[in-house]
Copies of this chain bind each other. A is one copy, B any other.
Amino acid sequence: MANKVYSDAASALEGLLFDGMTIVSGGFGLCGIPENSIAAIRASGVKGLTVVSNNAGVDGFGLGLLLETRQVKKMISSYVGENKEFERQYLSGELELEFCPQGTLAERMRAGGAGIPGFYTRTGVGTLVAEGKEHKEFDGETFVMERGIVGDLAIVKAWKADRFGNLVFRKTARNFNPMAATAGKVTVAEVEEIVPDGALDPDLIHTPSVFVQRVFVGTFEKRIEQRTVRKREIA
| Residue ranges of A at the interface with B (Cβ–Cβ < 8 Å) | 107, 111, 114-122, 136, 138-139, 141, 143, 147, 168-171, 174, 201-204
- Chain B, residue nearest A137 (CB): B117
Partner of A136, one of B114, B118, B121, B174: B118
7 closest cross-chain pairs (CB), A and B: A117-B138, A119-B119, A204-B204, A118-B120, A116-B119, A117-B120, A117-B143
Partner of A119, one of B118, B169, B202: B118
| Complex alpha-carbon distance, A118 and B114, angstroms | 15
Number of copies: 2
Whether the Cβ atoms of B120 and A203 lie closer than 8 Å is no
Partner of A117, one of B115, B117, B139: B139
User: Given A171-B203, A203-B171, A107–B117 Cβ distance below 8 Å?
Assistant: no
Whether the Cβ atoms of A120 and B119 lie closer than 8 Å is yes
| Complex alpha-carbon distance, A170 and B201, angstroms | 11
Residues of chain B within 8 A of A141, CB atoms compared: 117
| Complex alpha-carbon distance, A203 and B200, angstroms | 13
| Complex alpha-carbon distance, A170 and B202, angstroms | 9
Whether the Cβ atoms of B115 and A203 lie closer than 8 Å is no
- Chain B, residue nearest A139 (CB): B117
Whether the Cβ atoms of A168 and B122 lie closer than 8 Å is no
User: Given A169-B203, A204-B204, A119–B115 Cβ distance below 8 Å?
Assistant: no
Residues of chain B within 8 A of A201, CB atoms compared: 204
| Complex alpha-carbon distance, A143 and B148, angstroms | 13
Closest CB-CB distance, A150 to chain B, in whole Å? 10
Residues of chain B within 8 A of A171, CB atoms compared: 202-203
Closest CB-CB distance, A20 to chain B, in whole Å? 18
Whether the Cβ atoms of B119 and A170 lie closer than 8 Å is no
Residues of chain B within 8 A of A202, CB atoms compared: 171
